[in-house]
Amino acid sequence: MRIARPLRFRCSSVHSPLSPAALMAGLVSGQQHRVVCQGTNRERTVELLEGHFRGHLKRSQRPSGTWDDHVMTSRLESAMLRARIDSAALSAIVGVDVKTVSRWLGGRVPHRRTRIRIAEVLQETEETLWPAARPDLLSGAPATAEVVGAYAHRADIPTELWVSLLHSATERIDIIGYAYPFVLELLPDAAAVIAAKCHSGCEVRLGFADPDCAHVMERDSLEQMGGTLPGRIRNALSMLGPLADTPGCTVGLHSAHIYNSVFRFDSEMIVTPYLFRARGYQHAALHLRRLSQHGIFESFADQFEQIWGAITPYPTREVSDECTA
């Protein structure tokens, strides 16, 4: 028997009719419903409902880390509501018909280029709207996509890359290590360049090892530097003169036993894992670009924050005085 109108259900907790998929989403989320069928063929109604339940059970057997269609549908629909964009408006902006948008709301995943465009329109991220389409961004996923390059030694990193990262940073520069004077020697006016970025709104945090802490001499001995590490740190600090009293720039000293240096420039980062008895320029290096909150980039960014939380502020005014003395 043919159904005279689209199948809808009325529930005790919802005033407007629901489609089978919407009802299923509500039941899955834990809502309690008393369902009243509104159709001329009750046997067909029960059959369709059972089909939606079977579909959910199949999806629930997927491996851990995957996402059900109703979750993605809910995210897209919620984003459209927040942006006050309906199906007709979204279809016109993206360049598809309204039926295609309805299919997306029903669980179909758009093509990659379309997903990016929709995310821009709704001011969301692709992984927020369609997490299943970006399994590489899920917790526990391989993080190799974030590795832009790997170098056997820090000295192998092209100077052009360092300079490019420094110049392109507009929001954040975070550096922590022992001395790293080479960063301040990349340009004749590196400190002035950093100061100009601070004036433009870039937040800069520079963490050096405390030259007077006992751990620095331990590190000096490990790297066989002949007692020169404290002096190298003080030399690097003296090169920060133009940053004196610059709003947005914070210099700090740490006494932590760190096992790698971190050089962050916005969403890109150079990390140098320390090798036993090797000097700074001999350590291996990774060039990372942030793609996920669960990736390797975020692991090193979190390490920076933990060390930075225990630093002792180093007045840049003293740096300026030392520079001019």
Q: What percent of the chain has pLDDT over 90?
A: 50
177 or 140: which leads in pLDDT: 177
Same-domain pairing of 92 and 162: no
| Segment 238-241 long-range contacts (CB within 8 Å, at least 24 positions apart) | 238/319, 238/322, 238/323, 239/181, 239/184, 239/185, 239/190, 239/191, 239/323, 240/184, 240/191, 240/206, 240/316, 240/319, 240/323, 241/191, 241/319, 241/320, 241/322, 241/323, 241/324
On the question of pLDDT at 56 being above 50, the answer is no
Q: Domain check: are 24 and 94 in the same one?
A: no
Q: Are residues 199 and 163 in the same domain?
A: yes
* Same domain, yes or no: 78 and 195: no
Q: Which has the minimum average pLDDT: 144-148, 149-153, 219-223, 257-261? A: 144-148
User: Which domain covers residue 186, as residue numbers?
Assistant: 144-324
Confidence of residue 316 (pLDDT cuts 50, 70, 90): low
Q: What was the pLDDT predicted at 247?
A: 92
CATH of the domain at 163: 3.30.870.10
Instruction: With respect to residue 289, please indicate whether it lies within any of the assigned structural domains.
Output: yes
Where is the domain boundary, 106, 133, 160? 133
The verdict on 126 and 232 lying in the same domain is no
- In this structure, are 291 and 228 located in the same domain? yes
292 and 160, same structural domain?
Answer: yes
Q: Which of 39-43, 231-235, 241-245 has the lowest mean pLDDT?
A: 39-43
Domain count along the chain: 3
167 and 316 belong to one structural domain: yes
For the cut 60, the answer to whether the pLDDT of residue 41 exceeds it is no
Model confidence at 292, in pLDDT bands (50, 70, 90)?
confident
Q: What is the mean pLDDT of the segment spanning 169-178?
A: 96
Does the pLDDT value for residue 59 go beyond 50? no
Is 308 among the domain residues? yes
Of 83, 104, 133, the residue at which a domain comes to its end is 133
Within-domain flag for 179: yes
- Does 3 fall in a domain? no
Q: Is residue 179 located within the same domain as residue 302? A: yes
Q: What is the pLDDT of residue 131?
A: 75
**Which of residues 325 and 198 earns the better pLDDT score?**
198
Are residues 90 and 229 part of one domain?
no
Lowest mean pLDDT, pick from 23-37, 102-116, 235-249: 23-37
pLDDT over 80 at 17, yes or no: no
Same domain? For 201 and 115 the reply is no
Residues 162 and 113 in one domain: no
Checking if the pLDDT of 31 tops 50, the result is no
Residue 303, in any domain of the structure = yes
User: Which tens digit of pLDDT belongs to each residue from 121-155?
Assistant: 999 988 788 877 766 666 665 667 789 999 999 99
Establish if 138 belongs to a structural domain: no
**Domain endpoint, select from 93, 110, 133:** 133
- Strand 203-209 versus strand 249-254 pairing type: parallel
Cβ neighbour number for residue 286 with a 10 Å cutoff = 19
- The answer to the question of residue 286 being in a domain is yes
Mean pLDDT of the chain: 79
Mean pLDDT over residues 145-171, rounded?
A: 94
Assigned domain for 98 exists: yes
pLDDT tens, residue by residue, 19-29: 555 554 444 44
